[in-house]
Structure 1
């Protein structure tokens, strides 16, 4: 049995190519381009609402899917080991039955969600993001450099 396993979760982009993020500090949702997240020139992502940097910006849908996938994989690995024990102890005075395969948790697909956002161009970094319209009016922080911007174009 291998100790390592890898799972991949695809996070869908909206029609404009932005992916949904959630600030771990204030809970505000916003969207950025995947290329901006993967860019080595961007060291941290700032929340457009509170301006703080978070450890991760995983949405609840992604977290729930990851937990369900992990639980299902764990159940399968345990069942495989029980099946090996069943074959090992099939003959002799001591027998072992693995039983029925485990029932899997539903792995609900991720939706791009929250469409009531507007594209904002940040002149400081020459990048764009999608934020709530109220943040656009009141001023927001640039998700890429953290500068407070009151004159968002």
Structure 2
């Protein structure tokens, strides 16, 4: 039996090709293009609001979906094991084992590219763009790609 189980979760992009991210420290939402995040030139992604580097920018929706997928997998695995034990003890007159009903599946909510009120901002330091909160665009924001500070409206 293989001990490693892999789940794939597709994170959709918006109409402009940006993916929704969430800072684990301040909770701020922002969007970056996948090709920018995967570029070898970019070492870290910085939060445009607090300027910190998070271990993960996965949104709560993706985490909720992953937890539901894991729970369904575990329930299916345990039920299959119980059915196997039921078959194994079916002809034993000393031990009786009944697997019971198959557990109800946990709802796996789809992931949407929500929060459409973010505005595109071109960071001059890296010549890359991201979608950020409009308030950050009018005040101060950190470049998600180098951590540099950008002041005010362009």
TM-score normalised by the chain length of structure 1: 0.95
C-alpha deviation, 1:41, in angstroms = 2.0
Q: Deviation digits for residues 23-69 of structure 1, max 9, x if unmatched?
A: 11111100000111222221111000111111111111011001000
Instruction: Decide which moves more: 25-34 or 38-47.
Output: 38-47
1:117 is matched with which residue?
118
In structure 1, distance between residues paired with 2:61 and 2:12 = 11
Query: How many residues are treated as equivalent by the alignment?
Result: 153
TM-score normalised by the chain length of structure 2: 0.95
In structure 1, distance between residues paired with 2:41 and 2:148 = 16
1:44 is matched with which residue?
44
User: Which structure 2 residues correspond to residues 87-102 of structure 1 after superposition, within 5 A?
Assistant: 87-93=87-93, 94-102=95-103
1:84 is matched with which residue?
84
Q: Which runs of 5+ in 1 are unaligned?
A: none
In structure 1, distance between residues paired with 2:66 and 2:103 = 18
Q: Which runs of 5+ in 2 are unaligned?
A: none
Contact 2:139–2:153 (8 Å) recurs in 1: no
In structure 1, distance between residues paired with 2:127 and 2:90 = 67
In structure 1, distance between residues paired with 2:25 and 2:109 = 26
1:26 is matched with which residue?
26
C-alpha deviation, 1:87, in angstroms = 1.2
In structure 2, distance between residues paired with 1:89 and 1:118 = 63
Q: Secondary structure at the match of 2:129?
A: strand
1:14 is matched with which residue?
14
Contact 1:122–1:152 (8 Å) recurs in 2: no
Runs of 4+ residues over 2 Å off in structure 1: none
Contact 1:141–1:149 (8 Å) recurs in 2: yes
In structure 2, distance between residues paired with 1:77 and 1:125 = 48
In structure 2, distance between residues paired with 1:119 and 1:98 = 55
C-alpha deviation, 1:3, in angstroms = 1.6
